[in-house]
Amino acid sequence: MVKLTLGSFGDCFSSTSLKAYLAEFNATFIFVFAGVGSAIAFGKLTSGGALDPAGLVAIAIAHAFALFVGVSIAANISGGHLNPAVTFGLTIGGHITILNGLHYILAQVWGSILACFVLRFVTGESIPTHGLGAGVGIGQGLVFEIIATFALVYTVYATAADPKKGSLGTIAPIAIGFIVGANILAAGPFSGGSMNPARSFGPAAASGDFSQIWIYWVGPLIGGGLAGLVYGDIFIGSYAPVASSEDYA
């Protein structure tokens, strides 16, 4: 079942919430600066040539490393979402209120936009945007983004949001970074492997190209929402309180 909670305006502007928004802004800026920067660097080194297997691997690794760091530095303050699809999936499961979630998303989007405009200024290069690969239809691209984002948000739930995560919580940023890197390797040549509306919106704003941006909002939000429903309802929602006399070794 969906566990949406509206929240209060007072809580949205509390000191704790404001610090969380700033943490999301900063961490998303760092993630996008490194991720988009790696794509710009590849284009610079190859004189704007087409993405090759080595370049795809390098960009996937850069995103995985940057997301690992971004989640790690924000986890204790905001939870380390860095992604509107993650925030939406966690909102569906009742882990964050709707009002706080909307502010998280605004912070993430603005962090991404600023990172891309800074990159355009310091590199003097055009900002690469997400787009469907040659021969890839809109439906195919949407399914790629839905599945990839489902895997990402499912991983977030399993390693960070699940109350029974135990020691897995200490490796959550690594697992989250790894699934993003793996999905970029799988989906990159087809849908771009975004999984993150903020990651796609920043380059679109800096380049002025919004032609396919809707795909990178609709697909990830559907995937993130489905992951929130599946993991939050089927697994977390089915947990029963442990009897006080029950002992676990």
Kindly report, residue by residue over 56-67, the tens digit of the pLDDT: 999 999 999 999
Q: Residue 77 and residue 75: Cα distance in Å, rounded?
A: 6
Instruction: Tell me if 247 is assigned to some domain.
Output: no
pLDDT at 13 over 50: yes
Indicate the number of domains in the chain: 1
Tokens of 190: 């087809």
Is residue 130 a part of any domain in this protein? yes
Cα 192 from Cα 185, distance rounded (Å): 9
pLDDT tens by residue, 164-195? 888 878 899 999 999 999 999 999 999 999 99
Query: Does a structural domain hold residue 169?
Result: yes
The listed range with the strongest mean pLDDT (2-16, 130-144, 231-245) is: 130-144
Tell me if 246 is assigned to some domain: no
- Full domain range(s) for residue 183: 9-236
Inside any domain, residue 150? yes
Residue 4 in any domain: the answer is no
* 39 within 8 A of 58, measured Cβ to Cβ: no
**CATH code at position 106:** 1.20.1080.10
Q: What's the average model confidence in pLDDT over 204-209? A: 97
Does this model's pTM top 0.85? Answer: yes
Quote the mean pLDDT of the chain. Answer: 93
**Residue 195 phi/psi, 5° resolution?**
65, 5
- The answer to whether position 248 is within a domain reads no
Q: Average pLDDT in the 103-116 region?
A: 98
Q: Residue 9 — pLDDT band, cuts 50, 70, 90? A: confident
- Pair 115, 193: CB distance under 8 Å: no
DSSP code of residue 231: I
CA-CA distance, 173 to 67, in Å (whole number)? 8
